[in-house]
Amino acid sequence: MNIKLKYKRILLKLSGESLMGSKGHGIEPEILNFFAAEIKKVHTLGVQVGLVIGGGNIYRGLSAGEQGIDRVTGDQMGMLATMINSLALQNACERHGMYTRLMSSIEMNEIAEPYIRRRAIRHLEKGRIVIFGAGTGHPYFSTDTAASLRAVEIEADAIIKGTRVDGVYDSDPEKNPQAAMFDEISYHDVLNKNLRVMDLTAISLCKENNLPIIVFNMNTENNLLNLVKGENVGTSVGQYEINDVNIK
């Protein structure tokens, strides 16, 4: 049976915090296993999947100053934290029978390939899950920006940002039960309303390259599968008219 797919090549962005589950730190094996199972559902359909995962469950460069560590060193420590998460996710995907490649923006040849754009695209074409670790390889850039950059470079159809809420809201739904969720919203309004979907650099890069961003709840079973099939899941950020937003 042929299933029509809306997105055939995606860049899935996950936060490091999403791996913590109820632990409050580190990696919860059940969450890792769940994410790998959800990724397999779309990979089995032939979707080419690139992955970027943050490192906030282990170390955040932005908090380095509070510990007396300079920003550049703190960001480099954060990049290494993303590699720990990337290795864990790679292992989980391979336990589910998927072929993977881990590519790093920083040379660490014993555990990952160096990031080379053409090689990454070739891996995707061969049906391998490609995990992009170590951010951009430079300080002062978030993993959101790394995800946007890699998505543009590999010519992904969209960035799929997995969160623990259902989409983009006009206020924090975890603090305000009356928060309204957007069905669609423009890049401009995301920035103008300070909705914190991704940082300024990441949103601007997506806007300049007309790259859609889909924000959805990764913790809901089959959400990722339904999303790539074109069902109405999450919030779509794109080239919509300014102030012309649809609220669910």
Question: In the structure, what pLDDT confidence band is assigned to residue 47 with cuts at 50, 70 and 90?
Answer: very high
The domain locations on the chain are 9-247
Among residues 136, 137, 134, 140, which one has the least CA distance to residue 71?
140
Q: Percentage of the chain with pLDDT > 90?
A: 79
pLDDT at 126: 98
- DSSP state, residue 172: -
DSSP-assigned states of every residue in 8-22: SEEEEEE-GGGGTTT
Q: Is the CA virtual torsion 77, 110, 85, 151 positive or negative?
A: positive
- pLDDT digits over 59-115, tens only? 865 566 677 889 899 999 999 999 999 999 999 999 999 999 999 999 999 999 999
Sheet with 48-53: strands ordered across: 113-114, 100-104, 129-133, 48-53, 9-14, 158-163, 213-217, 235-238, 182-186, 246-247
What's the average model confidence in pLDDT over 128-134?
Answer: 98
**Is the pLDDT confidence value at 36 over 80?**
yes
pLDDT at 247: 60
Q: Which two tokens stand for residue 180?
A: 């309204």
pLDDT at 110: 95
- pLDDT digits over 171-229, tens only? 888 889 899 999 999 999 999 988 989 999 999 999 999 999 999 999 999 999 999 99
Q: pTM surpassing 0.85? A: yes
pLDDT at 210: 96
Phi and psi angles of residue 81, each rounded to the nearest 5 degrees, phi first: -65, -40
Q: What CATH architecture is 9-247?
A: 3-Layer(aba) Sandwich (3.40)
Question: In the structure, what pLDDT confidence band is assigned to residue 144 with cuts at 50, 70 and 90?
Answer: very high
